């Protein structure tokens, strides 16, 4: 994917920077063919950039995305879950693929480093817990922090196995409500109606 300027997020040690709420989406590829890995990365990159998030660098066999960076996002937790659901759907025909997706949201210290590539370094448990969830699960696993914020807009089930393993409530995504899926289109339609009404008022 070609861009005028590449934006990446790199989890590393940061001693100074801005504190910001982020949502981390971490994918751990447990099994996949070479072709499936390449296609998966294409799918993830497309979904992440469409939502104005950043695709991060991680160890081989993993993919990291951070939401609410570099642009502030309304309900970034939900946007990250939408991406996770879309990734699962678009890769369901990948015969060899086994992956875990983990999501967590929290406060992180963010520090941009600008060279030829814009790097974002991140310090906080948002990435760490998302990674651990992805390693332990073969589904879309989300933390209690995410569920508490947007539980009313999604259908998720409490995972007894993961909750016991992590010593805290952990949920797995079942689906996102139909209203949430179509909300962007509803908003666009409402905005167009408002514009038409404003034009009609001016013409009178």
- Within 10 angstroms of residue 197's Cβ, the number of other Cβ atoms is 10
Determine the pLDDT at residue 123. 63
In a domain, 198, yes or no: no
Measure the CA–CA gap between 75 and 154, rounded to whole angstroms: 13
Q: How far is CA 31 from the centre of its chain?
A: 21
Determine the pLDDT at residue 161. 95
Instruction: Give the residue numbers spanning the domain of 83.
Output: 7-177
Number of domains in the chain: 1
In a domain, 187, yes or no: no
Q: Are 141 and 134 contacting, i.e. CB atoms less than 8 angstroms apart? A: yes
In a domain, 49, yes or no: yes
- Record the tokens describing residue 22, joined without a space: 């982020």
In a domain, 91, yes or no: yes
In a domain, 143, yes or no: yes
Whether the predicted pLDDT of 43 surpasses 70? yes
Whether the predicted pLDDT of 112 surpasses 50? yes
In a domain, 188, yes or no: no
Measure the CA–CA gap between 119 and 140, rounded to whole angstroms: 27
Q: Quick one: average pLDDT of 124-138?
A: 92
Q: For 138-164, what is each residue's pLDDT tens digit? A: 999 999 999 999 988 899 999 999 999
In a domain, 155, yes or no: yes
**Which domain CATH number covers 135?**
3.30.70.1230
Nearest CA to 153 out of 181, 187, 126, 130 is that of 181
pTM strictly above 0.75: yes
Q: Over pLDDT 90: what percentage of the chain?
A: 52
């Amino acid at each position: 994917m070609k861009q005028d300027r590449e934006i990446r997020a790199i989890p590393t040690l940061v001693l100074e920077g801005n504190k910001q709420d982020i949502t981390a989406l971490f994918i751990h590829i447990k099994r996949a063919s070479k072709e499936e890995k390449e296609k998966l990365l294409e799918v993830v990159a497309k979904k992440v950039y469409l939502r104005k998030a950043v695709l991060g660098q991680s160890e081989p066999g993993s993919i990291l995305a951070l939401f609410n960076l570099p642009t502030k996002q309304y309900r970034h937790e939900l946007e990250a879950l939408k991406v996770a659901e879309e990734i699962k759907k678009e890769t369901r025909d990948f015969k060899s693929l086994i992956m875990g997706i983990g999501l967590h949201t929290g406060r992180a210290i963010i520090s941009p480093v600008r060279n030829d590539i814009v790097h974002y370094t991140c310090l906080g448990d948002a990435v760490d817990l998302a990674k651990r969830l992805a390693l332990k699960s073969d589904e879309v696993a989300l933390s209690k922090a995410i569920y508490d914020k947007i539980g009313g807009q999604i259908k998720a089930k409490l995972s007894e196995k993961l909750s016991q393993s992590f010593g805290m409530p952990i949920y797995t995504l079942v689906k996102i409500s139909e209203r949430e899926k179509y909300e962007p289109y509803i908003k666009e339609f409402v905005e167009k109606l408002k514009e038409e009404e404003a034009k009609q008022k001016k013409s009178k």
